[in-house]
């Protein structure tokens, strides 16, 4: 079995103690892709295009829309940016300040995000892939509800106990809960597009489901 | 009858020989409710679909709710799309933005034109000078730096297709009668780029199978206007008189026949220059 975890830092860590590790261990599966922290959804989509034919299961963790994709594949978010290249880093410093202060069209980023989600969904349907969707942030989905697989009804950022730099931004308990959720879906082979009630797997208080807020 | 032209400079000019005017005249002075935005990204054209014509302001100059017009998307009986190239960047300033344009305006030799540009797009207050001008110049420089250091053509093509999918879906939802033309990129034409556009062909209306730019650049003396994207083209909608008339007739025929089936329009049947 081959599993691709596509997304950002919420599915970046694959070492022992991470939910990716627990899922792979359960099925003795190969992890053929994992998240790239701080990157725009488009860069995750590029990873997906490389592995889509090979993957038996695809877990999608959708980042927020205001990051800036770029030809270097660097992470550029409203708060951070990074580059190994010193010359580029200096240029990026000026660009980052001007872009996010004076230039950005938030709406353009949001519409572009929705367009990418539509293409990913269409790709999953066309390739008849078994996939599960998780929004990482409240604004990740931009009102789009996928037709290709089930989707978590709460953003991963709002999981109870979230707040830190731990593996995939979750404590061990939540990494285990997340793994249990995915293991259950794979075991039941139920990839019907539907809302996954995250409360069934995560203890603690949630804000109102983002799907409910959409309706 | 109300017609909206949504797109870029290929549907931005009106005047006696512009295909927009010819179409309007044919339909007994049909109402033109939207025209193209020169040099701007498709996203800004998309935004115009949701703009409403404002018919009244209160004493403070604010829009009266009771006087808010109907958005273009709801008001238009017919919508003609001229889809611009994918490389344009959308900004909060709703200004034209592409690399050659930024190069042009940041060239010290174009200082007067830079002032006009900054003032027109509210990037600097009148009279354009001092700190206001420097700030405006910095905004343009940000765009130039973006294109030089970060621009990823693959991303821009993917988001263009994502936006087209959303526009197409909107047309179907609203049951709009629309016609699609591509201006520069070979989107759904035979020269399609399959690596970037694997899925998209409009499902909401007929679509021209040759980019309007190919017609424009085939015209006699077109090479003289190689920089046509930078405002130096004197033709209406980058087409000569004959081709404005031909494009008008093509649109008129579709509206007259009321056939908005999503199918390829063979542009060679309508433009002698392509034969």
Question: Which whole number is the average pLDDT over B93-116?
Answer: 91
- C-alpha distances in angstroms, B23 versus A115, B19, B20, B44, B258? 32, 6, 5, 24, 15
Q: What is the pLDDT of residue A215?
A: 43
**Cβ–Cβ contact A99 with B under 8 A:** yes
pLDDT greater than 90 at residue B230: no
Do B71 and B187 belong to one domain?
yes
Q: What is the pLDDT of residue B255?
A: 98
Distance between CA A110 and CA A114 in Å, rounded?
Answer: 6
Q: What is the pLDDT of residue B228?
A: 46
Asked if B161 lies within 8 A of A115 by C-beta distance, the reply is yes
pLDDT greater than 90 at residue B1: yes
Q: Which of A193-202, B121-130, B203-212 has the lowest mean pLDDT?
A: B121-130
Do B70 and B171 belong to one domain?
yes
Is B204 within 8 Å of B231 (Cβ atoms)? no
Mutate to test the interface with A, among B50, B137, B159 (most CBs of A within 10 A): B159
Question: Which whole number is the average pLDDT over A164-174?
Answer: 81
B92 inside domain: no
Do B82 and B116 belong to one domain?
no
Q: Which of A60-69, B64-73, B119-128, B230-239 has the lowest mean pLDDT?
A: B64-73
Strand partners, B7: B82
Please list every residue in chain A whose beta carbon sits closer than 8 Å to the beta carbon of residue B163.
111-112, 115
Shortest alpha-carbon distance between residue A112 and chain B (Å): 5
A209 band by pLDDT with thresholds 50, 70 and 90: low
Give CA B244 to chain center in angstroms: 16
Q: Which of A12-26, A87-101, B168-182 has the lowest mean pLDDT?
A: A87-101
Please list every residue in chain A whose beta carbon sits closer than 8 Å to the beta carbon of residue B47.
107
Nearest CA in chain B to A118: B162
| A95 or A23: which leads in pLDDT | A23
B138 inside domain: yes
B93 inside domain: no
Shortest alpha-carbon distance between residue A137 and chain B (Å): 20
Do B16 and B78 belong to one domain?
yes
**Cβ–Cβ contact A92 with B under 8 A:** yes
pLDDT greater than 80 at residue B225: no
Total structural domains within chain B: 2
Provide the CATH number for the domain around residue B263: 3.40.50
Distance between CA A168 and CA A15 in Å, rounded?
Answer: 10
Do B27 and B73 belong to one domain?
yes
Instruction: Give the residue extent of every domain in chain A.
Output: 2-66+106-214, 75-103
Distance between CA A32 and CA A56 in Å, rounded?
Answer: 10
Q: Which of A126-140, A190-204, B72-86 has the lowest mean pLDDT?
A: A190-204
Shortest alpha-carbon distance between residue B146 and chain A (Å): 7
* Exposure of A109 in the CB half-sphere (CA atoms within 13 A): 21
Nearest CA in chain A to B163: A115
- Helix and strand numbers, DSSP H then E, in chain A: 6, 6
Mutate to test the interface with A, among B87, B97, B150 (most CBs of A within 10 A): B150
Which among B143, B155, B161 is the nearest to A42, CB-wise? B155
Do B255 and B180 belong to one domain?
yes
Domain that includes residue B234, residue range: 2-87+153-274
Q: pLDDT tens, B243-263? A: 999 999 999 999 999 999 999
Asked if B162 lies within 8 A of A98 by C-beta distance, the reply is no
pLDDT greater than 80 at residue A67: yes
Chosen domain end from B134, B150, B166 = B150
pLDDT greater than 50 at residue B222: yes
B42 inside domain: yes
Q: Which of A51-55, A111-115, A177-181, B140-144 has the lowest mean pLDDT?
A: B140-144
The contacts of residue A136 (CB under 8 Å, 6+ apart) are A7, A8, A10, A61, A62, A63, A64, A155, A156, A157
Distance between CA B11 and CA B23 in Å, rounded?
Answer: 12
Q: pLDDT tens, B59-74? A: 655 555 555 578 999 9
Percent with pLDDT over 70 in chain B: 87
Question: Which whole number is the average pLDDT over A113-127?
Answer: 95
Do B249 and B177 belong to one domain?
yes
Q: pLDDT tens, B159-216? A: 999 999 999 999 999 999 999 999 998 887 766 665 655 678 999 999 999 999 999 9
From the CB of residue A4, how many other CB atoms can be counted at a distance below 10 Å?
A: 25
Do B74 and B170 belong to one domain?
yes
Preceding amide of B183 cis, omega within 30: no
Asked if A119 lies within 8 A of B199 by C-beta distance, the reply is yes
The secondary structure of residue A43, as a DSSP letter, is H
Do B115 and B163 belong to one domain?
no
Question: Which whole number is the average pLDDT over A101-111?
Answer: 94
Do B142 and B195 belong to one domain?
no
Distance between CA B42 and CA B227 in Å, rounded?
Answer: 20
Do B162 and B106 belong to one domain?
no
Q: pLDDT tens, B10-59? A: 999 989 999 999 999 999 989 999 999 999 999 999 999 998 765 555 56
Is B92 within 8 Å of A105 (Cβ atoms)? yes
User: Is CATH 3.90.1150.10 the right assignment for the domain spanning A2-66+106-214?
Assistant: no
Do B242 and B185 belong to one domain?
yes
A86 band by pLDDT with thresholds 50, 70 and 90: confident
């Amino acid at each position: 079995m081959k599993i691709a975890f596509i997304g950002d830092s919420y599915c970046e860590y694959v070492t022992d103690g991470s939910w990716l590790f627990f899922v792979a261990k359960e099925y003795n599966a190969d992890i053929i892709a994992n998240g790239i922290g701080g990157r725009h959804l488009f860069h995750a989509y590029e990873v997906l295009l490389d592995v889509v034919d090979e993957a038996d299961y695809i877990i999608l963790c959708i980042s927020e829309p205001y990051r800036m994709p770029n030809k270097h594949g660097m992470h550029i978010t409203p708060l951070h940016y990074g580059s190994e290249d010193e010359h580029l880093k200096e240029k990026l410093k000026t660009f980052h300040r001007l872009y996010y202060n004076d230039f950005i069209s938030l709406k353009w980023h949001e519409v572009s995000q929705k367009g990418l989600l539509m293409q990913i969904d269409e790709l999953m349907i066309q390739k008849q892939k078994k996939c599960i969707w998780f929004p990482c942030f409240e604004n990740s989905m931009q009102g789009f509800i996928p037709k290709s697989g089930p989707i978590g009804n709460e953003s991963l950022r709002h999981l109870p106990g979230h707040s830190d730099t731990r593996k995939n931004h979750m404590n061990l308990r939540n990494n285990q809960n997340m793994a249990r959720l995915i293991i259950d879906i794979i075991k039941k082979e139920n990839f019907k597009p539907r809302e996954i009630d995250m409360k069934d797997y995560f203890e603690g208080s949630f804000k109102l489901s983002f799907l409910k807020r959409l309706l | 009858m109300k017609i909206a032209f949504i797109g870029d400079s290929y549907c931005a000019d009106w005047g006696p020989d512009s295909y927009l005017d010819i179409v309007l005249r044919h339909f007994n002075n049909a109402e033109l409710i939207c025209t193209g935005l020169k040099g701007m990204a498709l996203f800004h054209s998309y935004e115009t679909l949701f703009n409403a014509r404002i018919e009244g302001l209160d004493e403070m100059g604010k829009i009266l709710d009771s006087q808010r017009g109907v958005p273009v998307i709801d008001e238009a009986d017919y919508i003609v799309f001229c889809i611009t190239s994918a490389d344009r960047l959308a900004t909060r300033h709703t200004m034209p933005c592409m690399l050659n344009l930024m190069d042009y305006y940041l060239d010290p030799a174009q200082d007067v034109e830079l002032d006009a540009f900054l003032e027109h797009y509210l990037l600097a207050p009148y009279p354009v000078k001092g700190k206001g001008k420097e700030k405006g110049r910095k905004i343009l420089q940000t765009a130039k730096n973006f294109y030089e250091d970060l621009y990823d053509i693959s991303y821009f093509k993917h988001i263009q297709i994502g936006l087209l999918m959303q526009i197409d879906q909107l047309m179907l939802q609203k049951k709009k009668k629309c016609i699609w033309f591509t201006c520069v990129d070979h989107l759904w034409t035979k020269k399609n780029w399959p690596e970037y556009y694997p899925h998209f062909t409009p499902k909401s209306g007929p679509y021209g199978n040759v980019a309007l730019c190919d017609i424009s650049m085939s015209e006699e003396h077109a090479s003289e206007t190689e920089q046509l994207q930078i405002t130096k083209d004197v033709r209406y909608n980058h087409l000569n008189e004959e081709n404005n008339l031909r494009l008008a007739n093509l649109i008129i025929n579709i509206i007259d026949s009321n056939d908005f089936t999503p199918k390829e329009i063979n542009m060679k049947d309508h433009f002698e220059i392509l034969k």
